[in-house]
């Protein structure tokens, strides 16, 4: 089942919102990135004081602004007339960076190696990469692989890549300034590639900057870490995510804050929540089954359902849990406000009109707590089978409380 469920659900917005989700993120300047004031200041300070390290580690959790900050920083460094707080945005260098066609700006990222498809390095996926980043620089490895329709396959930065990196960096700089190599997820380098990179960091080619963008420092060679200057990127603030959703997706404050709250600093998840709706029906079906099973306290069905949920991709499991939270919230609104403000599709409304009465003061806060907790544990790679079984058992008790 997992393979057929490919995109992320939308569950909070009416359908018309999706159509305005086109390329709304470019150009990439510091001012295009919400929040991150401290990080921007540190980068600009480095540039203005001419203290740019030849190897910089952008370390931040999934869904932080690593990629957009590194591109904005590249633009700032290559710009003809950078200002106090941002690149000019109009010079030829800025233009080229914002279209990701600047000859001094290079990207390396994990790809699924394939002989048949002739994929051995990032360059073989560069077209797809550029299009994807231009559309939205907030994505994770999972999103990148979904884009390529390569979910669940092993994406790596292979040894062949290091040869390509050396080749590119041996060229003369086009701008007469820096050559910039942005390595997205260096933790995906295999050992050989990592060792080659280490050599490059030890003896960097002239006027070359390496930006390493990493989710987790644990999977990087200590020798690589020690050769880089560390810049920690904080998760996004709730206000910044909400503002971003309001301005880029034209959603109202209630929606933007409820998404931002669920996203917990992760912009990738926030953007996923407002875009794409392919899986809504699947999540809805699961939700209905889950509630009926819990209501009937059917142990056999409960095990079956836990297994089905455990078979989904991790992202889908998280989306499903968030979807559940959304329907709980809408149920309460339906109960107490007679449905004027609910944001539901027809099938959802039809189901909740009968079911919502079981979600009430007796159980809503515990239901929210359990589902939030499940989401928390899924993020941390809990065993999904155990987690969903446990959740189902708790749900069975909680639904009883509401009857």
In whole angstroms, how close is the CB of 173 to Zn ion at the nearest point?
16
Nearer residue to Zn ion within complex by CB, 47 or 112: 47
Angle at which helices 346-355 and 280-296 pack, to 10 degrees?
Answer: 10
How many CA atoms are closer than 13 Å to the CA of 245, on its beta-carbon side? 34
In whole angstroms, how close is the CB of 252 to Zn ion at the nearest point?
35
CA–CA distance, 119 with 382 (Å, rounded to integer) = 33
Nearer residue to Zn ion within complex by CB, 175 or 272: 175
In whole angstroms, how close is the CB of 133 to Zn ion at the nearest point?
19
Contacting residues toward Zn ion, per CB under 5 A:
79, 87-88, 91, 94
In whole angstroms, how close is the CB of 176 to Zn ion at the nearest point?
14
Nearer residue to Zn ion within complex by CB, 32 or 187: 32
Nearer residue to Zn ion within complex by CB, 85 or 247: 85
Nearer residue to Zn ion within complex by CB, 10 or 87: 87
In whole angstroms, how close is the CB of 77 to Zn ion at the nearest point?
10
Nearer residue to Zn ion within complex by CB, 77 or 332: 77
CA–CA distance, 255 with 243 (Å, rounded to integer) = 11
Using only the alpha carbons of the chain, give its radius of gyration.
23
Contacts of 199-206 with CB under 8 Å at 24 or more apart are: 200/162, 200/165, 200/166, 200/169, 201/54, 201/55, 201/227, 201/228, 202/227, 204/54, 204/55, 205/166, 205/169, 205/170, 205/179
Looking at the DSSP assignment, which residues form a beta bridge with residue 108?
A: 183
C-alpha 94 chain-centroid distance: 25
In whole angstroms, how close is the CB of 82 to Zn ion at the nearest point?
7
In whole angstroms, how close is the CB of 87 to Zn ion at the nearest point?
5
In whole angstroms, how close is the CB of 327 to Zn ion at the nearest point?
48
Is residue 231 within 8 A of residue 225, CB to CB? The reply is no
Is residue 245 within 8 A of residue 260, CB to CB? The reply is yes
Nearer residue to Zn ion within complex by CB, 91 or 225: 91
**Nearest CA among 309, 258, 285, 288 for reference residue 352:** 288
Nearer residue to Zn ion within complex by CB, 43 or 146: 43
Beta carbons within 10 angstroms of residue 76's beta carbon:
26
How many CA atoms are closer than 13 Å to the CA of 231, on its beta-carbon side? 29
Residue with tokens 């590119």: 168
In whole angstroms, how close is the CB of 172 to Zn ion at the nearest point?
21
C-alpha 300 chain-centroid distance: 36
User: What's the length of the chain?
Assistant: 403
- Peptide bond just before 27 cis, omega within 30 deg: yes
Nearer residue to Zn ion within complex by CB, 86 or 240: 86
CA–CA distance, 63 with 197 (Å, rounded to integer) = 25
Q: Which two tokens stand for residue 379?
A: 């993020």
């Amino acid at each position: 089942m997992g393979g057929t469920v490919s995109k992320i659900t939308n569950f909070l917005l009416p359908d018309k919102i999706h159509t305005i989700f086109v390329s709304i993120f470019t150009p990439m300047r510091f001012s295009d990135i919400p929040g991150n004031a401290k990080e921007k200041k540190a980068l600009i300070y480095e540039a203005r004081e001419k203290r740019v390290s030849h190897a910089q580690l952008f370390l931040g959790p999934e869904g932080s602004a690593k990629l957009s900050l590194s591109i904005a920083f590249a633009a700032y460094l290559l710009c003809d007339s950078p200002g106090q707080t941002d690149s000019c945005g109009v010079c030829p260098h800025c233009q080229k960076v914002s279209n990701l066609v600047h000859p001094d700006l290079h990207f390396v990222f994990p790809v699924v190696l394939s002989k048949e498809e002739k994929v051995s390095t990032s360059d073989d996926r560069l077209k797809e990469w550029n299009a994807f980043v231009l559309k939205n620089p907030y994505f994770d490895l999972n999103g990148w692989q979904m884009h390529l329709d390569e979910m669940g396959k092993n994406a790596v930065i292979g040894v062949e890549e290091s040869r390509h990196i050396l080749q590119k960096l041996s060229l003369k700089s086009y701008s007469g300034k820096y050559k910039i190599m942005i390595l997205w997820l260096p933790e995906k380098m295999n050992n050989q590639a990592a060792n080659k990179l280490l050599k490059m960091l030890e003896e960097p080619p002239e006027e070359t900057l390496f930006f390493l963008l990493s989710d987790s420092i644990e999977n990087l060679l200590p020798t690589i870490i020690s050769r880089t200057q560390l810049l920690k990127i904080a998760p996004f603030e709730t206000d910044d995510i909400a503002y971003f959703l309001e301005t880029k997706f034209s959603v109202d404050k209630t929606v933007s804050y409820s998404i931002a709250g669920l996203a917990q600093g992760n912009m990738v998840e926030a953007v996923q929540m407002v875009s794409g709706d392919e899986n809504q029906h699947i999540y809805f079906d699961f939700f209905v089954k889950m509630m009926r099973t819990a209501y009937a306290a059917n142990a056999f069905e409960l095990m079956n359902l836990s297994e089905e949920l455990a078979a989904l991709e991790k992202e889908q499991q998280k989306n499903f849990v968030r979807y559940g939270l959304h329907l709980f919230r809408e149920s309460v609104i339906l109960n107490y406000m007679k449905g004027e403000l609910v944001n539901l599709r027809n099938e959802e409304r039809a189901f909740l009109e009968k079911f919502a009465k079981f979600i009430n003061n007796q159980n809503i806060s515990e239901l929210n707590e359990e589902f939030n907790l499940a989401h928390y544990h899924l993020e941390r790679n809990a065993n999904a089978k155990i987690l969903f079984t446990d959740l189902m058992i708790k749900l069975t008790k909680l639904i009883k409380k509401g009857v």
